[in-house]
Structure 1
Amino acid sequence: MAHDSLLHETHPLLGHRVRDIASGQTGQLNDVVREPVGAGESRRYVRVASIQLASGIEFSTAADNIEAA
């Protein structure tokens, strides 16, 4: 996955309707970021997707849990 800044990723579904397979919620994919978890040698990054529902509420989920709606 390409990175457009330090922790933000470009994603082919940015700006499109997506479905979170974990919750079944559908909305617009607004962002995918890499969030650091842990510290020192155990530090790693997890990919997190930000999805906005039609109501305007935004939630996050694992980026691997999204698919085109």
Structure 2
Amino acid sequence: MTEMYEYQPHRLLRKRVRDIASGIEGQLMAVITEGVNDIAYIRKSDGREFTTAAANVQAAGQ
């Protein structure tokens, strides 16, 4: 069985965002569908990236 990965458009790509689950802020680098889930990749100010559910992403400062 092969995994399907597909990049998704998102209105906040390359913008400063906040992960509502952890409270961490960073720049939204990509949203990818992995199987049935949309995963957001966020780059923190230290350059490291982390993932969260795309539904957890909101513009920073909200």
Fold agreement, TM-score > 0.5: yes
Q: 2:40 is matched with which residue: 32, 40, 49? A: 49
- Measured in 2, the distance between the counterparts of 1:28 and 1:53 equals 7
Letter in 1 for 2:7: H
- Measured in 2, the distance between the counterparts of 1:30 and 1:58 equals 9
Q: Provide the TM-score with structure 2 as the length reference.
A: 0.88
User: 1:48: how far off?
Assistant: 0.3
Letter in 2 for 1:51: I
- Measured in 2, the distance between the counterparts of 1:7 and 1:57 equals 22
Gaps of 5+ in 2: none
1:28 aligned residue: 27
Gaps of 5+ in 1: 1-5, 37-44
1:68 aligned residue: 59
CA RMSD of aligned residues (A): 0.9
- Measured in 1, the distance between the counterparts of 2:10 and 2:52 equals 15
Taking every aligned residue pair, what percent have the same amino acid on both sides? 48
- Measured in 2, the distance between the counterparts of 1:59 and 1:16 equals 15
1:8 aligned residue: 7
